[in-house]
Amino acid sequence: MTAPEAESLRVQPTPQRRSEWRAQAPVVAVVAVGGAIGAVARYALALALPTAAGGFPWATFWTNVVGCAVIGAFLVLVTEGLPAHRLVRPFFGTGVLGGFTTFSTYTVDIQKLVDHGRPGTGLAYLAATLCAALAAVWCAATVTRRVLTRRQR
């Protein structure tokens, strides 16, 4: 049994909230679908490049480096280049590339290397991934920007 004053405290969904959800539902859907595609691609790469216990995790390394390069090029394209549908950025940038890249697995890989008595390899992996990912974003964005500038002339 509820107190009579509790009845007035119930939150009723307003029509505005429903319309906001309807506007955001396509974004949520494309992010989910894109994330699933990216995660499957990452899994396939992990199967193609298996890591032995205590070995350098090349699959995760290349996943993150390639993903960072692609997002560098993609964001230049959608912000400075080609007009794109409003769902392209959430689908590909947040969904596909967010599902493909995996910085959480990167940290787990470092811990596994340390646990297998390879702290030097873990530290090298930590630094190499960070440097390579940042360089990949910068290089891809710079090259894409130059290509767009030349095409606009």
Q: Which residues are annotated as a binding site?
A: 98, 101
DSSP state of 153: -
Pick the closest to residue 56 from 127, 8, 5, 4 (CA basis). Answer: 127
Pick the closest to residue 129 from 52, 58, 38 (CA basis). Answer: 58
Return all residues near 112 (Cβ < 8 A) that are at least 6 apart.
Answer: 53, 54, 57
Q: How far is CA 35 from the centre of its chain?
A: 8
Q: Which residues are annotated as a binding site for Na(+)?
A: 98, 101
Return all residues near 66 (Cβ < 8 A) that are at least 6 apart.
Answer: 136
Burial of 103 (C-beta count, 10 Å sphere; 0-12/13-18/19+): middle
